[in-house]
A and B are shown apart, each in its own frame.
Chain A
């Protein structure tokens, strides 16, 4: 992150002044004319066309080329730049010429990163073995401040002109780069912490365990059959401590609901709907069974169709290895990833 540069918002006037400074470099020649180390020659041509698998005989077959419009071997035009490349151990450009000073100016505004964007070549004639080229480079243009997916900066276009031994212009290459201020990278998102654990006791843990098996349960008294929920150790009707778990239908009706906006806890996405749902009655239960009421979220936090009285089905989703919870899906509302 040390390469990041803080962007300071500048006024339009400041930006215009900066651009005017930059434009002073346009048209300036960069460095001394660069002579090609070798003349255009048949072996290098042959190496290249073999590498790129170009079988055109005008590059390699003297007899055939002689009968062509060229009257002899020519170099592939795209080799233009190759003839003046200085080689791995060639001299490096240094000093404080126009290009270096332009870069220093760009760096002063935080445009420290660079990426090549495109290159165009123009050819005026075919090159032949024996041509010896010299390249001159000028700063062709500098764009206004632009913002791309990479960041904000300026496109800088240089033009390389290639001359033969008679100073005839044989070709040119436009080479465009983008000098930019890197966008501040967002801090790597922290992994979302798991949902709050339910604090459980011996009287409640079994209910959460049953969810892991795909069951939404209520408690029925083992003595008088009274249904109760949330879970507890004793039947309020007959005081029996015996009970059985009964599986409740995975469907119900919204009794009430809220949408939580604040405070935001990292375990959840917001806005966070929370529904109070009356489950449908236990089909094997008694007519006087009370509603079993659950506090649930909706699948994908969907608010579609959520209102008091809305019909929902309940799906159980595994939140993490230790916690599965019931979630509501409003009937008739299309919610992606509804499961089941």
Chain B
């Protein structure tokens, strides 16, 4: 068997046809299951489908809402496909990849991908692994190299990479801050965003308190309660549905060599995201597109430094030059690559990347509150620092 080197055949076979979300808050006051059901039902309705049309469900391995229970509450009947994707926020675009594979192969006709949690009022991911039992499993044991030294949280893991990146390329905290300023600028005009009408300046960013030096508070995304769901079906069926399809032009997952979950500290060069390079290579190869073909991007922004590094992995700029790429409002509406036009997870809400995919769909539909002109292709990425995933969503042609 020969190894395929030209990218996968997933592109163009499926589309996202429905999106639905709950309110995004800091304290939903209700169950995660309630959030999940509302988001799933809303996405199915948005797609112009009935619950009984859905025969597949995909979520994160970290989601607390079993697919079959949602199916019971929402009135979805039998399921032919159900799968879960691992590695936290790295799963986001991966759920769409699973769904697209299922509909492309006829394993399912219509798949709902969902994520819902009380991540702010319930267990906060920002707390890291400090309050989790340290069971003698390989998955927990991987944290044993950092936890006894008090490096317990996502911010602390990212900060270690960020410092090295700053050292190698001369990026500064202000360069990271420009990502936050762009996100908050976009959130300021998005009524659904938690930080609606609350833009920040670079000075605000610099004055925000340290979380883990070199990361300020405003380098860290929010913690949020909420749910987001998306419906994937075949391109043929999509053309019969009311919304303009967001075609899955390309989709990929990626884990890099010497991959760890958040603590890939043992690579020769830690100031890179090789897992995202795997995704990038696959998306470009399988779509035949290049960075010049992307009008807007949703770059996973749980921590600002990784937005810069993603730009480099995708080839929007050379290694170490993202700081120059984003200067002068490069990521802002009207800039060279408007990114996270919903406000990102820094500005809209932290729904583990799923709300970003929905914004990608809106950009393709032309319905974003911060609509970019003449959108043909949108790049969407998932969680960084972990095994991850990505999508190119495009208009049907």
Q: Tell me whether A262 and B164 are in contact in the complex, defined as CB-CB below 8 angstroms, given that A274-B151, A295-B149 are known contacts.
A: no
Q: Mark B135-161, 1 if CB is under 8 A from A, else 0.
A: 111101101111111111100100111
Q: Tell me whether A200 and B141 are in contact in the complex, defined as CB-CB below 8 angstroms, given that A230-B266, A272-B150 are known contacts.
A: yes
User: A43: shortest Cβ distance to chain B, in Å?
Assistant: 73
State in angstroms the CA–CA spacing of A255 and B141 once bound together: 23
B210–A261 touching, CB < 8 Å: yes
State in angstroms the CA–CA spacing of A262 and B145 once bound together: 20
Q: Tell me whether A290 and B268 are in contact in the complex, defined as CB-CB below 8 angstroms, given that A263-B127, A274-B151 are known contacts.
A: yes
State in angstroms the CA–CA spacing of A261 and B215 once bound together: 10
Q: Tell me whether A204 and B160 are in contact in the complex, defined as CB-CB below 8 angstroms, given that A196-B134, A199-B135 are known contacts.
A: no
Considering only CB atoms, which chain B residue lies closest to A196 in the complex? B147
A272 proximity list for chain B (CB < 8 A): 150
Q: Mark B109-132, 1 if CB is under 8 A from A, else 0.
A: 000000000000000001110100
The reply on A126 being an interface residue by CB < 8 A is no
B141–A199 touching, CB < 8 Å: yes
Q: Mark A290-324, 1 if CB is under 8 A from B, else 0.
A: 11010111000000000010000000000100010
B30 proximity list for chain A (CB < 8 A): none
B160–A256 touching, CB < 8 Å: yes
State in angstroms the CA–CA spacing of A261 and B160 once bound together: 14
Cβ 8 A contact of A229, one of B140, B153, B167, B266: B266
The reply on A276 being an interface residue by CB < 8 A is yes
A297–B149 touching, CB < 8 Å: yes
The reply on B289 being an interface residue by CB < 8 A is no
Q: Mark A252-278, 1 if CB is under 8 A from B, else 0.
A: 000111111111010110011010100
The reply on B270 being an interface residue by CB < 8 A is yes
B268 proximity list for chain A (CB < 8 A): 290-291
B167 proximity list for chain A (CB < 8 A): 256, 308
B152 proximity list for chain A (CB < 8 A): 196, 265
Q: Tell me whether A263 and B130 are in contact in the complex, defined as CB-CB below 8 angstroms, given that A256-B163, A295-B145, A325-B148 are known contacts.
A: yes
B134 proximity list for chain A (CB < 8 A): 196-199
Q: Tell me whether A325 and B161 are in contact in the complex, defined as CB-CB below 8 angstroms, given that A230-B266, A263-B130 are known contacts.
A: no
B209 proximity list for chain A (CB < 8 A): 261-262
B270–A256 touching, CB < 8 Å: yes
The reply on B294 being an interface residue by CB < 8 A is no
Cβ 8 A contact of B212, one of A255, A260, A290, A319: A260
The reply on B211 being an interface residue by CB < 8 A is yes
Size class of B's contact patch? 35 or more
Q: Tell me whether A295 and B265 are in contact in the complex, defined as CB-CB below 8 angstroms, given that A196-B147, A200-B144, A256-B161 are known contacts.
A: yes
B141–A274 touching, CB < 8 Å: no
Q: Tell me whether A257 and B163 are in contact in the complex, defined as CB-CB below 8 angstroms, given that A199-B140, A199-B141 are known contacts.
A: yes
The reply on B214 being an interface residue by CB < 8 A is yes
User: A230: shortest Cβ distance to chain B, in Å?
Assistant: 5
The reply on B213 being an interface residue by CB < 8 A is yes
The reply on A201 being an interface residue by CB < 8 A is yes
B146 proximity list for chain A (CB < 8 A): 274, 295
B151 proximity list for chain A (CB < 8 A): 258, 260, 274, 295
The reply on A195 being an interface residue by CB < 8 A is yes
Cβ 8 A contact of B156, one of A196, A197, A274, A297: A274
B266–A293 touching, CB < 8 Å: yes
Considering only CB atoms, which chain B residue lies closest to A263 in the complex? B127
State in angstroms the CA–CA spacing of A204 and B134 once bound together: 14
State in angstroms the CA–CA spacing of A267 and B214 once bound together: 22
State in angstroms the CA–CA spacing of A27 and B284 once bound together: 95
A199 proximity list for chain B (CB < 8 A): 134-137, 140-141, 143-144, 147
Q: Tell me whether A259 and B126 are in contact in the complex, defined as CB-CB below 8 angstroms, given that A230-B266, A295-B145, A295-B146 are known contacts.
A: no
Cβ 8 A contact of B211, one of A204, A208, A261: A261
A274–B150 touching, CB < 8 Å: yes
Q: Mark B161-174, 1 if CB is under 8 A from A, else 0.
A: 10110010000000
B148–A196 touching, CB < 8 Å: yes
Considering only CB atoms, which chain A residue lies closest to B263 in the complex? A295
A325–B149 touching, CB < 8 Å: yes
A323–B148 touching, CB < 8 Å: yes
User: B126: shortest Cβ distance to chain A, in Å?
Assistant: 7
User: B158: shortest Cβ distance to chain A, in Å?
Assistant: 9
A196–B130 touching, CB < 8 Å: yes
B210–A259 touching, CB < 8 Å: yes
B148–A260 touching, CB < 8 Å: no
State in angstroms the CA–CA spacing of A199 and B270 once bound together: 24
Q: Tell me whether A201 and B210 are in contact in the complex, defined as CB-CB below 8 angstroms, given that A256-B270, A274-B149 are known contacts.
A: no
A198 proximity list for chain B (CB < 8 A): 134, 141, 144-145, 147-148
Considering only CB atoms, which chain B residue lies closest to A258 in the complex? B159
Considering only CB atoms, which chain A residue lies closest to B257 in the complex? A236
B138–A201 touching, CB < 8 Å: yes
State in angstroms the CA–CA spacing of A93 and B214 once bound together: 68
User: A204: shortest Cβ distance to chain B, in Å?
Assistant: 5
B156–A258 touching, CB < 8 Å: yes
B140 proximity list for chain A (CB < 8 A): 199
Cβ 8 A contact of A268, one of B126, B150, B153: B150
B266 proximity list for chain A (CB < 8 A): 229-230, 293
State in angstroms the CA–CA spacing of A6 and B213 once bound together: 39
Give A189-203 interface residues, CB cut-off 8 Å to B.
Answer: 195-201, 203
A258–B213 touching, CB < 8 Å: yes
User: B372: shortest Cβ distance to chain A, in Å?
Assistant: 36
State in angstroms the CA–CA spacing of A195 and B290 once bound together: 48
A297–B150 touching, CB < 8 Å: yes
B159 proximity list for chain A (CB < 8 A): 258, 260
A295 proximity list for chain B (CB < 8 A): 145-146, 149, 151, 265
State in angstroms the CA–CA spacing of A319 and B148 once bound together: 10
User: A197: shortest Cβ distance to chain B, in Å?
Assistant: 5
What would 24 A/B residue contacts be, using CB atoms closer than 8 Å?
A196-B147, A198-B134, A198-B147, A198-B148, A200-B144, A255-B270, A256-B164, A257-B160, A258-B159, A258-B160, A260-B151, A262-B209, A262-B212, A263-B126, A268-B150, A271-B210, A271-B213, A274-B146, A276-B265, A276-B270, A293-B265, A293-B266, A297-B150, A319-B148
Q: Which 5 A-B pairs have the closest CB atoms?
A: A198-B144, A199-B134, A259-B213, A199-B140, A256-B164
B residues engaging A (CB < 8 A)? 126-128, 130, 134-138, 140-141, 143-153, 156, 159-161, 163-164, 167, 209-214, 265-266, 268, 270
